[in-house]
């Protein structure tokens, strides 16, 4: 089971999120995924930040995930990080769904933005 929220990839790129985490002394590693999309794992937690995926029709999927089951010893730290990211980066309902990806070229240098057509 997971808690998931979309982040606003037009205003905040995955690079912005990684920088925010590193400023707060969290280490982050890339988890490549050939079939789905790449994601970044915040080490010491069960929290992952998806690299945006562009679906058929142009819809962009981009989430922050907190794997809550099974509950592990780092649950409290994971919850703290997840809430911190939600407060800073979540997609507010009044915002339109993103139609572009901020820092797309820079992201493609470090991870794979999947595009399905």
Mean confidence (pLDDT) of the chain: 90
Tell me the whole-structure pTM to 2 decimals.
Answer: 0.89
Number of domains in the chain: 1
Contact 7, 64 (CB under 8 A): yes
**Domain span holding position 48:** 2-115
Closest CA to 74 of 45, 40, 43, 42: 45
Three-state secondary structure of 4-16: EEEECCCCCCHHH
Using DSSP's 3-state secondary structure scheme, residue 45 falls into: coil
pLDDT in tens, 84-117: 999 999 998 777 889 999 999 999 899 888 877 6
């Amino acid at each position: 089971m997971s808690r998931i929220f979309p982040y606003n990839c037009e205003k905040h790129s995955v690079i912005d999120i990684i920088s925010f985490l590193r400023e707060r002394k969290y280490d982050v590693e890339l988890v490549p995924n050939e079939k789905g999309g790449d994601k970044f794992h915040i080490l010491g937690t069960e929290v992952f930040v998806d690299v945006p995926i562009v679906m058929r029709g142009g819809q962009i999927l981009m989430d922050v995930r907190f794997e809550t089951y099974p509950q592990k010893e780092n649950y409290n730290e994971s919850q703290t990080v997840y809430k911190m990211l939600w407060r800073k980066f979540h997609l507010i309902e009044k915002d339109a769904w993103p139609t572009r990806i901020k820092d797309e070229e820079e992201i493609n240098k470090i991870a794979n933005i999947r595009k399905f057509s």
